[in-house]
Structure 1
Amino acid sequence: MPKPSKARARESKREKRLRAANDKILGAFELQNPPFRPTTGMKTPVAPLNDAQREYDAAIRTADVIFGVGPAGTGKTWFAAMRAAEALDRGDIRKIILTRPAVEAGESLGFLPGELDEKYEPYIRPVRDAFEEYFGTGRLEYLLKNGNIEPRPLAYIRGSTIKNAWLLADEMQNATEGQLKMLLSRIGENAKFILNGDPRQSDLPRGKSGLEIVRSKLAHVPGVVSVQFFREDIVRSGICQAIVEALEGA
């Protein structure tokens, strides 16, 4: 059996509790499921590239609420978008909702030109790029116009009941505990929420991010799984991993 990496060996007690809860929930899951082949766009089935992505994949397939937490470049957003696209392609759900906090360094939606859809577009661009890779440009435009894929600002989730849909929430290190509570309480029948973020990249004032607080509180709630990614799990490129390690301290 291979030795655990240095990063995993340094897991905190909280992270070990989260992983133990994951193991209990995912223990019966069979990873060797037949891959789904998309009808348009991508022709190669999406497959995990490392152990972290395999754990993430198992969580997405089995849980109702999934937290993907860790550094940039680990494939959290891309992989979640691909699995959501498959679910929509199969007809398992009617809609995919994309959201994220409208928090950036020094600017907000109000400083961007255009109507709400145009203002919000830069915030969901990474997910849109993944969908374009899966569906192709033409079908993606149809799905967006038809409302099957809907970008929605986090504030506009309030009062909704999300059902027969997957909700992909990105950059959630920039959400407060109150915002996360509001978001997660919107989940309805046949819905799956995937929340991704990197606590080290929060643009909120220190102590205001609710991501770590909320996922810790929900660690033992049935149907909720939290997957921790580490620097070693970066798949974007070798230089990306080297940059993250240098900036965060290897």
Structure 2
Amino acid sequence: MTKRVEKTYQFENPEQEMGLVGPADAHLRLLEESLGTQLRVFGDRLTIDGDDERVIMTLAIVEKLTAIIKRGVKIGPADIISATSMAENGTLEYFGDMYTETLLHDAKGQAVRVKNFGQRQYVQAIAHQDITFGIGPAGTGKTYLAVAMAVAALKQGSVEKIIISRPAVEAGESLGFLPGDLKEKVDPYLRPIYDALYAILGKERTDRLLERETIEIAPLAYMRGRTLDNAFIILDEAQNTTPPQMKMFLTRLGFGSKMVVNGDLSQVDLPRSVTSGLRQAAQILAAVPHIQMIYFKNSEVVRHVAKVVAAYDQASENLK
């Protein structure tokens, strides 16, 4: 049985308080919404009121957040969401560790870091395995982090080029009316890839690397018959591959290359009679050495779409 309690946290300085509270108390409101507690600031003290277990969890999150603020990290909504998700999953103890390593700095000079335990496992798998599968809902950062790791590898000289692909499968829309060849038709569907590259490298540098073919973005059909050596290869939206397409893609891996395969098995756009190549690969390759499967949870969604994903999942369960 829960009981209502109140606990107090004392800030060490005004900078720590301002960093945690956020603009117009936005961070406090997000914590309240996520945890079901009430937070109020009086001078240099923060009071937390609510059910005892939720208050204890909120206090633990506040302590973790203020610890990284003390280290000079400017937190935002994504950090709040990550901390609350990790607390709910029982992995809050690892929260501070995520801020000890910077993958790279983006086009604005901001540090790119992992945001939750799932992302941490994903990045470590990419660093140490030949092929990494990132499987989970939209908003978990799979594409962005894969691109960030690819750019970091290119900058370090461990690969000579980046190749990013996706299957040309329509998500309830028609490719046929669009002008141009297959690549030109599918380019609009590759927009998330371009957005990630622009955010990390900047548009001008991305465009230069695309012109030099140091970065190549192409439909999956363009991979057939190639052997990709010394490359960082990313397959996005892999749930829309057929089993033969997935096998074809995986066997493109050459010497000195690394491959990341991302997808969301809840968003398969293939005909009902066709098995997803990603689903089959996850079963066949689970125990193969140098290949690792990372499964993201709905609670690890780092964008403000977590509630949308949860609502649709709940509706799907109710319809079964």
User: Which TM-score band (shorter chain)?
Assistant: 0.7 to 0.9
TM-score (norm 2): 0.65
Pick the aligned partner of 2:258 from 192, 200, 204. Answer: 192
Aligned partner of 1:69 in structure 2 is: 135
**Cα distance in structure 2, aligned partners of 1:169 and 1:70:** 14
TM-score (norm 1): 0.82
Runs of 5+ unmatched residues, structure 2: 1-56, 58-84, 91-96, 316-320
Equivalent residues in 2 for 1:198-217, closer than 5 Å: 198-206=264-272, 207-217=274-284
Deviation, structure 1 residue 89: 1.9
Residue-by-residue CA offset, 1:149-177 (whole Å, 9 max, x unaligned): 11121111111001111111111110011
Aligned partner of 2:9 in structure 1 is: none
Question: Which sits farther off after the overlay, 136-145 or 84-93?
Answer: 84-93
**Partner-residue secondary structure (3-state), 2:170:** coil
8 Å CA contact 2:159, 2:230 repeated in 1: yes
Aligned partner of 1:243 in structure 2 is: 308
Q: Percent identity?
A: 44
**Cα distance in structure 2, aligned partners of 1:106 and 1:124:** 16
Higher alpha-carbon Rg: 2
**Larger relative contact order (CA 8 Å, sep ≥ 6):** 1
Deviation, structure 1 residue 139: 0.6
**Cα distance in structure 2, aligned partners of 1:31 and 1:219:** 26
1:233 and 2:264 matched = no
Question: 1:188–1:31: structure 2 CA closer, same or farther, 3 Å change rule?
Answer: farther
Runs of 5+ unmatched residues, structure 1: 10-29
Question: 1:34–1:70: structure 2 CA closer, same or farther, 3 Å change rule?
Answer: closer
1:130 and 2:196 matched = yes
**Cα distance in structure 1, aligned partners of 2:174 and 2:220:** 13
Pick the aligned partner of 1:160 from 226, 233, 257. Answer: 226
Question: 1:245–1:36: structure 2 CA closer, same or farther, 3 Å change rule?
Answer: closer
Equivalent residues in 2 for 1:1-250, closer than 5 Å: 35-38=102-105, 41-107=107-173, 109-206=175-272, 207-237=274-304, 240-249=305-314
Count of residues paired in the alignment:
224
Deviation, structure 1 residue 222: 1.1
Q: Which has the higher strand share?
A: 2
Question: Which sits farther off after the overlay, 201-210 or 221-230?
Answer: 201-210
Aligned partner of 2:45 in structure 1 is: none
Deviation, structure 1 residue 77: 0.6
